[in-house]
Amino acid sequence: MILVTGATGYIGTHLVKRLAERGEQVRCLVRDTQKAKQVLPADKVELVEGATTRPETLAAALQGIETIVHAAFMTADRKETPNNHYNETNVDGTRNLIHAAEGAGVKRMIEISGLGTKPDKIGSYMQGRYLAEQALKASSLVWTIIQPSVLFGKGAPFIVGLTDLIVSAPVVPLIGGGKIMFQPIYVEDVVTVILKVLDDPARTQGKTYTIGGPEYYSFTQIFDVLLKTMGKTRPKIYAPTPLVAVGAAVMETVLPKPPLTRAAMTLFSFDNTTDLNSVERDFGFVPQSFKAYFEQHSI
């Protein structure tokens, strides 16, 4: 049996659906079972109420589990609130899960991280993601880490944030001049990678896979694709990164779901890319093109 954490998240919902379709025994750790039933195939999977931040709920969730797919992370598109902190979820939650899994006899954990994860300032979003990876590597579990670039697909948080910005702002801010490079990858292709990792534990254990789509795009080019898809035009202006960071902080203060957060600004401190043939080389298929996808789908 497989336990999926973060089952109601963006990757989680797609993953659970695919696992159920192929007849896997799946248990989903969810905060609210009634809400989970609205987005998950509840008739085909088992729902267990709990959270990685509530260690007392994990023993029941892990009973009889052989493999965990850990996707219960607070991503950079979401702002911190008084009751929801990056470190509490991403670091403490991961450590709680690992400790409970080791005690329950779980054999294997696959962790869904992010491309470019690296050591950073103490208490920062990026440092939290790095510590979550390190916790798994230091455990007694057989592990695999998957680091995807920014995701696209219907409802993808990165894309939703940018389209919200296009709708709400009179101009398009090109953070850092719009030169930072991305390698957007389709959410269903990430799920396919996860399934292939699940199916091949011997080859994939102890490995970290960086994955991205088949093309590189500058931040400017991503906006161009989205503007064309939306049928809109917007003037583009150079936006110094420090100034945008201030704007993100203000939006976090006044908006419940800001289009840009301070944590998301981390993505603009480095090129969010890996080699173009990473998925084909390691998993045997060519992922969906970002541009081609939006030529065929609306936003």
**153-176 confidence digits (pLDDT tens):** 999 999 998 999 899 889 998 998
Backbone angles phi, psi at 106, to 5 degrees: -65, 140
Domain that holds residue 130: 2-149+185-211+273-287
**Number of residues in the chain:** 299
Backbone angles phi, psi at 81, to 5 degrees: -130, 170
Q: What is the pLDDT of residue 244?
A: 85
Give the confidence band of 82 by pLDDT, cuts at 50, 70, 90: confident
The answer to whether position 254 is within a domain reads no
The string of pLDDT tens digits covering residues 265-287 is 888 889 999 999 999 999 999 99
Measured distance CA(181)–CA(183) in Å, rounded: 7
Answer yes or no: is pLDDT of 211 > 90.
yes
The rounded mean pLDDT for the chain is: 95
Residue 204: give its domain's CATH number: 3.40.50.720
The answer to whether position 170 is within a domain reads no
The answer to whether position 169 is within a domain reads no
The answer to whether position 280 is within a domain reads yes
Q: What is the pLDDT of residue 32?
A: 97
Q: Which of 164-168, 203-207, 208-212 has the lowest mean pLDDT?
A: 164-168
Q: What is the pLDDT of residue 259?
A: 81
Q: Which helix (H) or strand (E) holds 20?
A: helix 10-21
Give the confidence band of 115 by pLDDT, cuts at 50, 70, 90: very high
Q: What is the pLDDT of residue 18?
A: 98
Measured distance CA(227)–CA(22) in Å, rounded: 37
The answer to whether position 119 is within a domain reads yes
Total structural domains within the chain? 1
Measured distance CA(198)–CA(25) in Å, rounded: 13
The answer to whether position 15 is within a domain reads yes
The answer to whether position 116 is within a domain reads yes
Question: CB under 8 Å to 24, separation ≥6 — which residues?
Answer: 2
Q: What is the pLDDT of residue 36?
A: 98
Measured distance CA(90)–CA(132) in Å, rounded: 6
Measured distance CA(66)–CA(243) in Å, rounded: 48
Expressed in angstroms, the distance from the first to the final Cα of the chain is: 36
pTM attached to this predicted model: 0.95
Q: What is the pLDDT of residue 169?
A: 86
Beta bridge partners of 70: 5, 111
Return the structure tokens found at 119.
């050591």
Give the confidence band of 203 by pLDDT, cuts at 50, 70, 90: very high
Beta bridge partners of 244: none
Strands 151-152 and 142-148: unpaired
Q: What burial class does residue 42 get, using C-beta atoms within 10 Å of its C-beta: 0-12 exposed, 13-18 middle, 19+ buried?
A: middle
**Residue 171 to residues 23, 167, 252, 296, Cα–Cα distance (Å):** 48, 10, 20, 26
The answer to whether position 35 is within a domain reads yes
